[in-house]
Amino acid sequence: MGPRILLIEDDGRLAEMVSEYLGEAGFRVAVAAEGRAGLERLTREPYDALVLDLMLPDMDGLEVCRQLRLKSDIPVLMLTARGEAMDRVVGLEIGADDYLPKPFEPRELLARLRAILRRRQPGGPGNALRFGRLEIDRDARVARLDGAERGLTGHQFTLLVALAEKAGRVLSRNALMDLVKGEPLDAFDRSIDVHISRIRAAIEDDPKRPRRILTVRGAGYVFAKQQD
């Protein structure tokens, strides 16, 4: 039996398609078209996670989330429209676990939903970095793409975390060496480029055209903030 998801979305056709898509991925999805109806269902029936649209006809998603948090800690994934920076910040502050801007890539919805479900499991990742479809679980020392684990050695994972924690900044090879200097030196000497190419092979959709770990000629590497 897959996880039970409640989707609160007022656009009926979109709700139907999301249900179908998540259903195929093994989720059991129930739909509510309004905020109040959704809150009622959540008190009546047990759900594993809530996918919540920000704009609803009777009350906005932030209010639904606020009321829900008074009595439940169910994982919440909020659907916003791109560019609503304030809503994103407020949404996370009032207790949403993650947010996804519309129009989203269906695979990303799936990956994020799985991630917030894992986070709530005992021993689940509490210390993860997320970049689109990529999740870097620092506690389990595992990288996942679309929820599927990718094979990385311990050294490579350390290097990946060092890059990801400085996402959006150019890191020279020397700076990278400094960041991983607790590791045995022979693992990170001049072969750093080789390690990077192996990490790319593991986490890039097309390692020949990387979108996550980028090379800046003459300057170093950048871990992209926006990847998908």
Partner 1 sequence: MRRLYLRIYLAVLVSLAVFAVCSGLVWRQFGDAGPAGHAFEVAATLAQNILPAAGAPKAEQQAALEKLAGNLRADVALFAADRSLLATVGEQLTLPSAGRDRGGWLRHWGNAPAGTIHLPDGRWLVARVPRDRWHPGFPLFFPLVPIAFAVGVGAYPVVRRLTARLERLQAGVESLGAGDLSARVKVEGHDEVARLAESFNRAAGRIEELVGAHKSLLAHASHELRTPLTRIRMAVELMKESADSKRKRDVEQGIAELDALIDEILLASRLDVVKGREADEEVDLLALASEECSRYEEAELEGQPITVRGDPRLLRRMMRNLLENARRHGAPPIEVRVSRAAGTAEIRVSDHGPGIPDAEREDVFRPFRRFAGARDNPGGGLGLALVRQIARRHGGDARYLRREPSGSCFVASLDASAPDNAS
Q: Length of the chain in residues, anyone?
A: 228
Query: Could you tell me the smallest distance in angstroms from the CB atom of residue 205 to partner 1?
Result: 12
How many Å apart are CA 130 and CA 145, to the nearest integer?
A: 10
Query: Could you tell me the smallest distance in angstroms from the CB atom of residue 32 to partner 1?
Result: 16
Strand-pairing partners, residue 130, are: 135
**159 phi and psi angles, rounded to 5 deg:** -65, -40
Q: Smaller CB distance to partner 1: residue 40 or 205?
A: 205
193 binds partner 1 (CB under 8 A): no
Q: Site map for partner 1, 106-135, x if CB under 8 A?
A: xx----------------------------
CA atoms 214, 216, 221, 222: torsion sign: negative
Single residue of 71, 102, 141, 181 touching partner 1 by CB under 8 A: 102
Stretch that binds partner 1, among 140-148, 154-162, 179-187, 207-215 (CB under 8 A): 207-215
Q: Smaller CB distance to partner 1: residue 122 or 218?
A: 218
11 binds partner 1 (CB under 8 A): yes
Q: How many other C-beta atoms can be found within 10 angstroms of the C-beta atom of residue 198? A: 17
Q: Give me the sheet containing 76-81, strands edge to edge.
A: 28-32, 4-8, 49-53, 76-81, 98-102
Single residue of 96, 128, 163, 224 touching partner 1 by CB under 8 A: 224
Single residue of 39, 54, 76, 96 touching partner 1 by CB under 8 A: 54
Query: Could you tell me the smallest distance in angstroms from the CB atom of residue 186 to partner 1?
Result: 28
The 3-state secondary structure of 67-120 reads HHHCCCCCCEEEEEECCCHHHHHHHHHCCCCEEEEECCCHHHHHHHHHHHHHHH
Binding residues for partner 1, rule: CB under 8 A, are 11, 13-14, 17-18, 20-21, 54-55, 81-86, 101-107, 168-170, 209-211, 214, 216-219, 222, 224-226
